[in-house]
Structure 1
Amino acid sequence: MPFPQIRPRRMRRTEVLRSLVRETHLAPDDLVWPLFAVPGQRVRNAVKSMPGVFQLSVDELVAEAQEGYEAGVRSVILFGIPERKDAQGTEAYAEDGIIPRAIRALKEQVPGMVVMTDVCMCEYTDHGHCGILKAPKAGGPGQDLQVDNDATLPLLAKEALAHAKAGADIVAPSDMMDGRVAAIRTLLDGHGYQDVPILSYAAKFAGAFYGPFRDAAESAPQPGPGIPKDRKGYQMDPANWREALREVELDLEEGADMVMVKPAVPYLDILRLIRDRVDVPTAAYHVSGEYAMIKAAAERGWIDEDRVVLETLLCCRRAGADLVLTYYAKHAAQLLSGKKR
């Protein structure tokens, strides 16, 4: 039989040819860098479960963001650890809170950086849940406290407004309360912030990949009488894909400008389903557990860290992510720009 005339390997022969026909590209400005802000000055607390990640005082955070910007990272997302926590998470919406202070400093000192902010209550409540807790109705199922969806909505909206007033470019609700996008959009618009976009954590799954983040953000659910031990009551069941599409649809109806899938790699199928159905920018969050696994394997010499990082982020882009949130943002940007060898 004659040898096949179709030879796909022809276009793989050299790097120049491979680059010529490459379908998906990864660039530094595709990446969003999560940073953790804490009170104080010259604070740089290492997160043990996330080598290379730190809790940073505002001055250190600005310096870190400047390094990222020089490497090509053009966007950060901020998480805050407040001076104090309480049951209502009041520091979350304080206009002089840790995140508004960080926003103002970044906008002044790194003016070209897009500043996104996480909008949630878990870092600010003493119980560690993403909303206000209430007692179950008498005669109802279960005895545990429950997150009060509707009572939480105005507090999330106030948090987003505080961030917008400080100069945030984008607010990103991650709480998974029903109706929070509409509540935030209404309050922002009512105060003249119609131009502040909302990036919704629309399909956020109650998975097992968040542990290191909760060390960094000090946001794990706290043990106590009646306090739910996990967030399965409001984050999504990992088994469900149709529900993810419904969550995205609802958030877009409420006014979301962008939507996110979290975690990233274990849910690339969900990301592709969403990308194929919506025409708004779509993000994937390469979360702390994914980061920590790469770090751990690399430290043992089991993988080539740089290659695995770039391949992982590229695959998020290939699956449909316009933006990838990743703790590797500066590292990857340096690799892509040739500034890290």
Structure 2
Amino acid sequence: MVDFILWVLQNIVMAPYNLVAAIFTPGSWLNWSDPASVMRFIYYGASVEFFFVVFTTFLILTVLGLAWKRSILWGCVRGLEGMANGIGRFAAWAGLLMVIQQVMIVFLQRIFRVASIELGPFGTAFAKDLSWWAEELKFYNAMVVALCVTYTFVQGGHVRVDLFYSKVKYGTKRLIDMFGCMFFMLPAITITYLYAWFFMWRHLMTPAVTATSDLDRMIMQSRIFRWNVETIGFSPNGFDAYFLFKILIVAFCVLTFVHAMAFFWRSLLEYIEGEESDGKYLDRDGFASEAEEIEHAIHSGST
């Protein structure tokens, strides 16, 4: 246990140095014309060093917000929640696009017997079989799921398995929220990101890399590095850009991780400031009627 604590403290102390070293030596990991740089980028993207840079930044902001100005933490909360709302509200339009495209496919295939759809924006032809457009609908659905997850959380639309949460006092609720962020939400999404990151890269390049690969081994593998973007569909003329789904998984993990920090800060500030800060600066969408507002509040556990 002592060794683990010392290891954590050592990595926290080294985090500022690692951050400065990465900022002032971008050529070692951003020069993607060099395979070794790509391998360093892949390794450090899910490394212990990167995790502790993020974790140390989180600790510093928390300490500054509590010891100096709470407005620092409120600013972080508003910024991260604003980002979640902005991305979610934009990605939600994929749902409408999915419906329109599905209706168009049905009409073209069943009524007009059209076999393909061709688009020509800016003079460039893009022609694909109807089965390609039909399978692409899954990508729109994945966009809504992956990119709207934190937006749904901010809006209070997530499913809450409530055994005793609604019955406890205000301060106890905030303590439960903080505990859930630190011991459930952050660890779970960190592990998911760790494997999603390397899963994504295995479908973008060769040789295959794993979460257990060390940097020296990956640098050696860079000698046989080549881009190998996945373009295999489930059917001969079907959607052939399934690597985009892997990128969405990573985006989902990143959005959830940063929002877990925002939710922890919000819960902490609301616990300190009391009930008068409940929902402070919270940007939630309105409803057409008061009945919908009440129903939403009941299902979200906010009342």
What TM-score, normalized by structure 2, do the two folds share?
Answer: 0.20
The structure where strand makes up a greater share of residues is: 1
What TM-score, normalized by structure 1, do the two folds share?
Answer: 0.19
With a CA cutoff of 8 Å and minimum separation of 6, indicate the structure with the bigger relative contact order: 2
Larger radius of gyration: 2
The structure where helix makes up a greater share of residues is: 2
